[in-house]
Structure 1
Amino acid sequence: MIKDFLLNDCLLFKNMTDDNIKSLSNCFKMNIKTYKKNDYIVKMDDDIEYIHIIYSGTCIIEEEDYWGNRSIMDVVLRNQVFGISYAYANIKKYPVSLVAKEKTKVIIIPVSKVFSPCSKHCVHHNTLIKNAVEVLAIKNISLMEKLEHISKRTTREKIISFLSSFATKTNSNDFYIPFDRQELADYLLVDRSALSSELSKLKKSNLIDYHKNHFIINYENKL
């Protein structure tokens, strides 16, 4: 069962009341599915028929090349949306996969329902379409952030760029990242051993401290 009030923080439902969301839920015939850790929610080359909202849990967007090498494009957290940019671009098949990092519940919405105003021409449906544009803008910013990180010349510079960006977004020098070591290496497009080595050097220099995915940047020392 979908609890409408839990969707209030989802950007797709911005400026909507619980009644508005409930109305859209019925109109869209929203369905919720549960996935185990490492389950594929979407596989590369699947037909794009649905938009996915992460109701609970965390997912990663990954891409594999012809030889099976994986790169992580982004992470999708609770109340975030996946698939809307591909649907808007009228792409027929997913060029990436969506994988559950943990037990995850996902709301499934047919693409045709989102982009075609309903027969009732309700105002909140129009609001949702406007919100979808904002979701696309944020997705674009996220992509630009990744390009900024991976464009750095060295592994050290990529790590510093990523951690600095995370500290800025969380407005804190003490934060948790949504990746384990292998996932972070895949996200930054670097070798895992090289990543671990550079993290260790930064820690020994007292520039950062970390334990698993918990990081602290020491501001008194410049990176």
Structure 2
Amino acid sequence: MSYTGEVTPGGAPDVRELADLTITKVAVDERMANNCYLLRCRATGEQLLVDAAAQAATLLPLIGAGGGLSTVVTTHQHWDHHRALADVVAVTGAATVAGEPDAAAITDATGVPITRTVGQGDTVAVGECVLEVIALRGHTPGSIALLYSDPHGTPHLFTGDSLFPGGVGNTQKDEARFTQLIDDVEERIFQRLPDSTWFYPGHGDDSTLGAERPHLAEWRERGW
């Protein structure tokens, strides 16, 4: 069956096989329904996890007994995106990566030191595949997205809680934060990447930039 990205907590993961990278999406925690994404380089077997959000007992079997998890990237500091970080790192020994402005808060909440802090334009490798860091400030100061520019197809973008189908992430009605986030999303994502870009949010279903682009003006008018 083809990949849809439609997953539910307690349900089966969904797997997307690209030429060089395998993407496994799983939802955890009935209440928060966070998405976690396990990326595996097909050439080397090396793996990277985007958000160890919850339920290590669900995530560790996906990673596999043989390990191979080199990195856990936490997209932002909010509590629901790193509840399994300590357990996953303890078992796998994976390095940890986060946006620099959020790193201290993640460590304070989890007790896990951040091995490497990143910002706009940095890269994170998973085997022979490279992910570009895109800073999307506003949902939190250090929120990041990860862009995989597939040399064989369309771009793939992991957006955390900064971009969803239907709008940008919550900024608690803070006008300055909302303006910063919508500006970053427009300038760093929509003005740069094609409509075919498939994006994977921190909660809920995936979408494409083409499906969302017609609504940018509505989002800005609505605010959040």
After TM superposition, the score normalised by the length of structure 2 is: 0.31
More helix, by proportion: 1
Q: Which has the larger radius of gyration?
A: 1
Quick one: higher RCO (CA 8 Å, sep 6+), 1 or 2? 1
